[in-house]
């Protein structure tokens, strides 16, 4: 496995297409909180979403290491990369498909699927594999989605 520090907790954040605005804000929030919890965070996505995250975090406080999603999947399949935690952002069928792939590629990892957007409830019905789900009809306002994430990760005050 390729890891920077073998004892370090590895988190993989898998971002979908950046068409729903709330994803970038919640992604930055989650990366920051996981970093505070001692995770080495890697963000995977297409060039558009990674570009938005990098521009939003110019000093790299939250989004540090990034990787193209297709390359990441290849490295996971080849067992060159691993993670103990994988969080997938899903606002469409493609996001659910990526989540299913991550469940297969990281069978021992804690898998959290964040289902959001206008059709979140309906889309969440397509999650038929073992994982933790956070489902919120969030498009622009990250408040309720953040509360759900805080609950799943035990960050409630």
Contact 90, 64 (CB under 8 A): no
Q: What is the pLDDT of residues 20-62, one digit of tens each?
A: 999 999 999 999 999 999 999 999 999 999 999 999 999 988 9
Supply the pTM of this predicted model: 0.93
Q: Which helix (H) or strand (E) holds 134?
A: strand 132-136
Q: What is the pLDDT of residues 92-102, one digit of tens each?
A: 999 999 999 99
Of all residues in the chain, the percent with pLDDT exceeding 70 is 95
* All structural domains of the chain with their residue ranges: 10-152
Enumerate the β-bridge partners of residue 110.
85
The residue-averaged pLDDT of 80-90 equals: 97
The CATH class that applies to domain 10-152 reads alpha beta
Place of tokens 């570009």: 51
């Amino acid at each position: 496995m390729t890891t920077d520090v073998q004892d370090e907790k590895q988190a993989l954040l898998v971002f979908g297409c950046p068409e729903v605005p709330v994803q970038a804000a919640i992604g930055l929030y989650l990366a920051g909180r996981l970093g505070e919890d001692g995770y080495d965070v890697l963000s995977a996505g297409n060039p558009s979403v990674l570009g938005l995250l990098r521009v939003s975090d110019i000093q790299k406080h939250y989004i540090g290491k990034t990787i193209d999603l297709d390359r990441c999947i290849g490295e996971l399949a080849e067992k060159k990369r691993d993670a103990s935690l994988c969080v997938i952002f899903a606002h469409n069928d493609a996001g659910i498909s990526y989540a299913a792939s991550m469940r297969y590629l990281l069978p021992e990892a804690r898998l959290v699927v964040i289902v959001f957007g206008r059709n979140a409830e309906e889309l969440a019905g397509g999650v038929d594999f073992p994982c933790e789900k956070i489902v919120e009809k969030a498009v622009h306002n990250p408040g309720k989605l953040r509360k759900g994430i805080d609950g799943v990760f035990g960050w409630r005050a």
